[in-house]
């Protein structure tokens, strides 16, 4: 039998991926800081690019299948893969920022959702949307800690969304993925419960877990630029992502400064850093 090839990482390889993860986080934080009214999505991209270059790392998005920027900056009804440009951000805009870095050939990939002008400027529905999406991501990451099969992660995301955010749409068309010597690798990490449970979880697996929710329906279309994915009904979307290692002694959220301690605490899980 052939099985999909999943790249399993050694502890030392995971340590190098941690460095890529921290550069990825620094890029997202730099990008977040310029998400203010009047800034352009190009400004957001430039801040992320400067952080990656300043760390001596490289962007994995830039040039990927011809992608023209360092970050994806997806505003309001853009679910994912928004291309930065001259658009001016306005108070209350919901901005998903997705990016990644390569260090010594190893990749990081993460995303956050930011509301321009801060939570005080947010429509309460948008704030709930972003928080539910972040919560769904942590539910998936927590499930990875004890998952037997990769499909257990999507089941946990699905259960969280159904329980905590039944008013929101859980996007099915875009998935998480394995990550390592490439940004996108086997296995696919579904954001919903599926009959096929997928491959067995093994020590050395590193997965990008990245749910997307909308405040309406989940039907989407891609613009003529072949990247920008928008909701059909104009509802807004949020996207949160982390790259997470499972090793012999536990999980480690490579793209969080605290290794995932705060996000996992409600689940009674402590991350196990290898450093
Ligand atoms: N980061 C996206 C994901 O999370 C992929 C972006 S593709 C790119 O998997 F071309 F925009 F980089
Ligand atoms: Co990803």
Q: Would the CB of 61 count as within 6 Å of ligand 1?
A: yes
pLDDT tens readout for residues 203-246: 999 999 999 999 999 999 999 999 999 999 999 999 999 999 99
Stated pTM of the model: 0.98
Is the CB of 98 inside a 6 Å radius of any atom of ligand 1? Answer: yes
Distance 98 CA to ligand 1 centre (A): 7
pLDDT, tens digit, for every residue of 6-58? 999 999 999 999 999 999 999 999 999 999 999 999 999 999 999 999 999 99
Contacts of 175 (CB under 8 A, 6+ apart): 188, 189, 190, 191, 210
- Map out the domains of the chain as residue ranges: 11-267
Question: Could you tell me if the CB of 45 is within 6 A of ligand 1?
Answer: no
User: Counting ligands in written order, which one lies closest to the CA of residue 48?
Assistant: 1
* Ligand closest to the CA atom of residue 99: 1
Ligand sitting nearest the alpha carbon of 208: 2
**Which residues contact residue 22 at a Cβ distance below 8 angstroms, ignoring those fewer than 6 apart?**
108, 254, 255, 257
Give yes or no for residue 174 CB within 6 A of ligand 1. Answer: no
Per residue in 115-139, pLDDT tens? 999 989 999 999 999 999 999 999 9
Neighbours of 275 (CB within 10 A): 9
**Model confidence band, residue 5 (pLDDT cutoffs 50, 70, 90):** confident
Q: Residue whose CA is closest, atom 8 of ligand 1?
A: 61
CATH of 11-267, one of 3.40.640.10, 1.20.120.1200, 3.90.230.10, 3.30.70.20: 3.90.230.10
CA angle 243, 154, 11 (to 5 degrees): 35
pLDDT of residue 3: 47
Per-residue pLDDT at 220: 98
- With a 6 Å cutoff on the Cβ, whether 109 touches ligand 1 is yes
> Residue 261: is its pLDDT beyond 80?
yes
Q: What is the pLDDT of residue 2?
A: 46
Give the integer Cα–Cα distance in Å for 28 and 21: 11
């Amino acid at each position: 039998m052939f099985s999909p090839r999943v790249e399993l990482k050694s502890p030392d390889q995971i340590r190098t991926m941690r460095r890529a993860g921290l550069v990825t986080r620094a890029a997202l934080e730099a990008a977040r800081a310029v998400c203010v009214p009047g800034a352009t999505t190009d400004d957001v991209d430039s801040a992320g690019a400067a952080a990656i270059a300043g760390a001596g790392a490289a962007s994995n998005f830039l040039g990927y299948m011809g992608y023209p920027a360092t970050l994806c900056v997806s505003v309001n009804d853009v679910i994912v893969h928004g291309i930065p440009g001259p658009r001016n951000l306005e108070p209350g805009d919901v901005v998903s920022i997705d990016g990644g870095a390569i260090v010594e050939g190893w990749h990081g990939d993460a995303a956050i959702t930011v509301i321009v002008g801060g939570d005080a400027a947010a429509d309460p529905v948008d704030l709930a949307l972003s928080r539910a999406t972040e919560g769904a991501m942590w539910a998936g990451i927590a499930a990875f800690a004890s998952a037997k099969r990769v499909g257990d992660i999507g089941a946990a995301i699905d259960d969280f969304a159904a329980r905590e955010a039944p008013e929101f749409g859980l996007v099915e068309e875009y998935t998480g993925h394995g990550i390592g010597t490439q940004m996108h690798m086997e296995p696919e990490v579904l954001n919903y419960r599926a009959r096929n449970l997928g491959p067995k979880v093994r020590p050395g697996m590193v997965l990008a877990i990245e749910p997307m929710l909308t405040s309406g329906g989940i039907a989407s279309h891609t613009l003529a630029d072949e990247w920008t994915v928008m909701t059909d009904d104009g509802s807004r979307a949020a996207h949160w992502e982390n790259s997470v290692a499972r090793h012999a002694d536990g999980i480690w959220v490579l793209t969080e400064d605290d290794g995932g301690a705060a996000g996992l605490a409600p689940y009674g899980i402590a991350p196990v850093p290898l450093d």
